[in-house]
A and B are shown apart, each in its own frame.
Chain A
Amino acid sequence: MPNQSGGVYGLTILSPIKQDPHLKISHSLAIRMYLQRLPQDRRSPFARVSSTHMARLVVMDDVVYVGSPACEEHLQAQYLVFESNFDGDLDTYLRQMVREAPKEVDAVWQHCDGYPGLADPGQFVRYMKRCQIETTFYFADVNDKTVQQTLRALQTQSAVAAFIEKNQGRPAAELQKAFLGVARALRNAPAPNPGNAIGREFADE
């Protein structure tokens, strides 16, 4: 299944953007202006759609003219490109978008042709799938770890570096006691938030 690599799904959606020559601010410009102001950190809607490793939204104005002897041609519509790399299956993901980020999904896709709104999640899923383009080849450097596993591993990595610094040269019994403390702290630590920097939360353990 070319959209998938291991546990990660590569979603590519091209949604045609509405055209209305009477508007002062076109639909595509409205999308761009909205996206400019959307937060990218843990307040991002995609942080709530928490199986998202990486995602982007791109207004694609047209195809490219590469110069003679190639022919010049143009698309009839502009497209909103949604490229996402996430854990799990497509249906679950699209439904998670509806549940976790309805405001933002609406604000963006209302500018696109055929967008049915979010009252019926099933209809939304069908609408998005109509605009899905199959990924021809998908490469994922790490394809067998979820977002949560990755965040936890980064947390552990930071804690281990801090631990080594603190306990270098300590005698065996103290070392072991300190290690058990860090292991416990990491086990009990709350799930790290996506979209955030990983800090030195365990620097003082």
Chain B
Amino acid sequence: MSNIHGKAYAMNAISPMKPWKTWIVRAVFFLMRYFPSATRNLVNLSFIHFARWVIVRRDAFPRLSAQLPKDNLKYDYLLFFSNFNGTWNQYIDAFSAVLSWGLNTIWHWSEKFPGAVPVTPLKNYITQGQFETDYYYTAYPHATTNDVKAAHRVQAAFDELAAAADKPADEFEKAYRRFLVRVQGDLGATGELPVGTE
């Protein structure tokens, strides 16, 4: 399944927008950059390693060959690329259930977007606009974004403990106990994705 590498899923989606609406979407993203509380729910969902939205204006599809006729497009296009964990259904279910406001704010302006709720018409729209990844690489395939964040927390705690490791043994033991409590929730094993995940 070329959309998946390790525990990550590479989703690509495209939707058309009437050019006058593109400015609204640009404004939405501008606000999202300067009001980080807007992305807080995204961080708390903790499904996504990296995601991006790319607006391609109707006259801006790259053209390098003189022989190629110019595009004659009516719409601007909103491209969406996500690197996420979990199944395709789970991902969209979650967004529809808890981030519908965000989905609507961004995609309301795409032609024939049905709204983020209920979820089945949303899934049908996404299926229509999604296109397959041909090659996908991840540097840490057996780790989800949860695993990565946990690992960084463990590394930080470990470095602190290692810095204190030459104390007398009973002091070290106390520091080790505190270390255990600090990392106890972050020690899940990494490994393979569950099979047949949809």
Contact = CB atoms under 8 A, between A and B. Distances in A.
So, do A and B actually touch in the complex, CB under 8 Å? yes
Interface of A: 2, 8, 10, 12, 14-16, 18-19, 31-32, 35-36, 38, 40-41, 44, 46-47, 50, 52-61, 63-64, 66-67, 70-71, 73, 75-77, 79, 81, 83, 85, 112-114, 130-131, 133-142, 145, 147, 149-154, 156-158, 160-161, 164, 172-173, 175-176, 179-180, 183, 194-198
A53 to B, nearest CB: 5
- Identify whether the interface residues of A are mostly helix, strand, loop, or mixed: mixed
B187 A70 contact: no
Nearest to B173: A172
A170 B84 CA distance: 40
Given A58-B12, A76-B71, A150 B152 contact: yes
Contacts of A35: 134-135
Given A137-B52, A175-B172, A156 B70 contact: no
A90 B54 CA distance: 17
10 contacts: A59-B134, A64-B128, A66-B129, A71-B74, A76-B63, A145-B152, A172-B169, A179-B161, A179-B165, A198-B143
A70 B176 contact: no
- Identify whether the interface residues of B are mostly helix, strand, loop, or mixed: mixed
Nearest to A173: B169
Give chain B's interface residue range (CB within 8 Å of chain A): 35 or more
B74 A32 contact: no
Contact of B50 (A10, A161, A196): A10
B112 A66 contact: yes
A113 B149 contact: no
A141 B149 contact: yes
Given A60-B12, A156-B155, 15 more contacts: A40-B141, A66-B15, A113-B64, A141-B148, A142-B145, A153-B148, A153-B155, A157-B147, A157-B154, A157-B155, A158-B189, A161-B189, A172-B172, A179-B165, A197-B141
